[in-house]
Structure 1
C-alpha cells in the first residue's frame, strides 16, 4: 500500500532562497532514482515550504529515509529553518472516485 508524507519546513525569511535551492536539488536527485517514489512535489505559502510525497510502500520510504538525497537535503537545511521540519506520515484512505479520492 502507498505511503503519503507531508513534510513542512519553515525557512528563516533571509534563508528562504537557500532552502528552496536545497529542496529543488533534492527533488532532482529523488526523481532520478528508481526507488519507489511516485510523487515528490514542492508546494509553498509565504511562510512555509511543503513537500508532498507518495511512496510505493513503506520499504520505499524507508530506503529514501536512509538515502544520500535526504542526508544531503538535511545538511542544506541546517541552520536555515525557524524550527525542525515537521514530517507527517499518512496511510491513504481512498474514498469517492479513484481519480479524485486518493493522492
Structure 2
C-alpha cells in the first residue's frame, strides 16, 4: 500500500538559495530510488515542502537511510530555521476518487 509523506523545512532568510539548490539536488537523486512514486518539491516564502509517495513502508524506510537524505540534511542543517517537520499521512476517501486520491505513476 502506498505511503504518503509531507516534509516541510524552513530556511533562514539568508540561506533560501542554498537550501533550494540542496533540495533540487536531492530530488534528482531520490527520483532514482526504488519505490519512489512521487517526490515533488514546492516552496512558499522561505518554506520548502516535499510531497512524497512511496510504494510501501519498506521503500520509505530505505529512503530514510539513503545517501541523498544524509547529504541533504548534512548540507542544509545549519541553514534551517528550526527542525524539519515530517508527517506520514493516511488517505481520507472523499469525493471523486480520481481527483481525491494520490495514485502511483
TM interval, short-chain normalised: over 0.9
Give the superposed CA RMSD: 1.1
For these two proteins, the number of residue pairs brought into alignment is 102
- Whether 2:16 is the aligned partner of 1:16: answer yes
Q: Assess if the C-alpha contact under 8 Å between 1:3 and 1:90 holds in 2.
A: yes
Distance apart, 1:101 and its partner CA: 1.2
> What stretches of structure 1 move > 4 A for 4+ residues in a row?
none
2:45 corresponds in structure 1 to 46
Tell me the CA shift for residue 47 of structure 1.
Answer: 2.6
State the partner residue of 1:96: 95
Q: CA deviation at 1:93?
A: 2.7
What is aligned with 1:29?
A: 29
Distance in 1, matches of 2:46 and 2:77, equals 17
SS at match of 2:79: coil
Q: Pick which of 91-100 and 49-58 moved more.
A: 91-100
Does the aligned pair in 2 maintain the 1:40–1:54 contact within 8 Å? yes
CA–CA distance in 2 between the matches of 1:84 and 1:98? 34
Unpaired runs of at least 5, structure 1: none
TM-score normalised by the chain length of structure 2: 0.91
Give the SS at the match of 1:88: strand
Per-residue deviation, residues 13-63 of structure 1 (Å, max 9, x unmatched): 110000011101100001123x10110001111131100001111111000
3-state SS of paired residue (2:81) = coil
